[in-house]
Structure 1
């Protein structure tokens, strides 16, 4: 460990391991050259990263100078590092990882299968800015059928603050706790993705259209979402009570929101009755 927090030996070992796993064709180089060891040659990595071969060799030998953030970014591109690997590269070099460009809106097949398998539990997936990305067949009875709604309008916070009136639900402590934690979570995302235009537009819009949002935003609370108990007077199912469980998906910074009813409760029975009469393919895909 150096005075700057740089772990030279770990950085050197990490660079060597990432170089060894790459095939020349993956980075646009010909495969025809005879190679005594697998992976790229040091001079090839240096060329791809736009630096001198001597400088790169010294990094791999654990005796190079502290690399700049520009050098680390160039190495991450040259070695085709994943987001997690790039963050690790910066940390072992004694630097804080660069912020991601924006929240992911890609929905993996595993998450879709998981939501579909929750046949008696409403569940939906949102990005870091609370844009709804996918939902299962029971969730549409709580968030509506979004299949005909433009993607940019599928945002929970926009729905929450769109009506500026002082309806009675704003006096409900559970509602206000949910709202406040959602805004605090949005501020956390605002800090993680400072250049994302979608988050910037959403915050600017809500500041201009909702005095209530502006007041909560001005408190500068920062907090990732926690589970809350929700009590909902549903027009079809009657009064419901369930835990709104928020599951963070680390690799995409998304949230899977699940309405969890207590086993044997009237709410669980209501969810089960609803599942029996809802057609299987109404999941918004």
Structure 2
């Protein structure tokens, strides 16, 4: 079957994401009774819950493939096959989301987050924060920001400007003057966006943004070609503000539950 990939028979199965996925699936198989899926219990059942062969039949996959995925072996698991496993094991919404997270796959039953409006409560929260704060979408366009953020980010969040953080950083002379150690920060920003956008790197809006930035900024093209990948993290952020002079903040980034394509960024002033 095309789902099966060959592997070494004596391969050591260390604690890996594949192993964690297999353990999760096995635990839920063992909790599910035959009666719950319309099967007769049968005599001398040696295993708790359903047998692997029974789950494989319910999912429409080969017993060998199903056994291997439970064992944490290096087999490919498509989103469609995972969805059938989730249905067969009668997983709850939270359990199903956890299954797809373990497999690093997007659940085909979930709508594309980019097609949904940002939660109103998240946008309203920005106005309740006293420090500079803003919300970014998956292409790092600012969806909402507060007055302190507009006062800080001249040329981006004040007045009528393009609201994309990457465009601002790489194409605005104001950003180069504002951001202390611009070269280091810009390089890291490109690497963070590569890591952040991996699941939608070929989506049309993301691809268009990368292409336009590569054409407009030699620095972005160079940093993007380096293939650097950094996790987005907080830390000190310094700015040379045209009115207030040198200002230093600590940046904190939050991702809302169920909307990890959005980010709430807060810049807390040093005491």
Please say whether Structure 1 and Structure 2 have the same fold, judged by a TM-score greater than 0.5.
yes
RMSD: 4.2
Cα pair 1:174 1:229 within 8 Å, conserved: no
Task: Give the TM-score, by structure 1 length.
Answer: 0.59
- In 2 relative to 1, CA 130–53 (structure 1 residues): closer, same or farther, beyond 3 Å? closer
The alpha-carbon deviation at position 127 of structure 1 amounts to: 2.5
Alignment match, 2:177:
169
Task: Name the count of aligned residue pairs.
Answer: 219
Map 1:74-223 onto structure 2 (within 5 A): 74-76=84-86, 82=93, 85-88=96-99, 91=102, 96-99=103-106, 104=114, 106-118=117-129, 120-141=130-151, 142=153, 143-145=156-158, 153-163=162-172, 169=177, 174-223=181-230
- The partner residue of 2:245 within 239, 252, 255 is 239
Distance across 2 between alignment mates of 1:160 and 1:124: 15
Cα pair 2:145 2:157 within 8 Å, conserved: no
Alignment match, 2:267:
259
SS at match of 2:19: coil
Cα pair 1:132 1:155 within 8 Å, conserved: yes
Alignment match, 2:83:
73
The alpha-carbon deviation at position 214 of structure 1 amounts to: 0.7
- In 2 relative to 1, CA 126–15 (structure 1 residues): closer, same or farther, beyond 3 Å? farther
SS at match of 2:197: helix
Distance across 1 between alignment mates of 2:253 and 2:95: 20
Distance across 1 between alignment mates of 2:174 and 2:86: 51
Cα pair 1:130 1:155 within 8 Å, conserved: yes
Task: Give the TM-score, by structure 2 length.
Answer: 0.62
The alpha-carbon deviation at position 178 of structure 1 amounts to: 2.2
The alpha-carbon deviation at position 202 of structure 1 amounts to: 0.6
The alpha-carbon deviation at position 99 of structure 1 amounts to: 4.7
The alpha-carbon deviation at position 193 of structure 1 amounts to: 2.2
Cα pair 1:130 1:156 within 8 Å, conserved: yes
Alignment match, 1:5:
19
Q: Which runs of 5+ in 1 are unaligned?
A: 21-36, 44-51, 264-285
The alpha-carbon deviation at position 210 of structure 1 amounts to: 1.4
Map 1:36-51 onto structure 2 (within 5 A): 42=37
Distance across 2 between alignment mates of 1:182 and 1:83: 32
Q: Which runs of 5+ in 2 are unaligned?
A: 1-11, 39-53, 70-76
The alpha-carbon deviation at position 199 of structure 1 amounts to: 1.2
Which of structures 1 and 2 has the larger relative contact order (alpha carbons within 8 angstroms, sep 6+)?
1
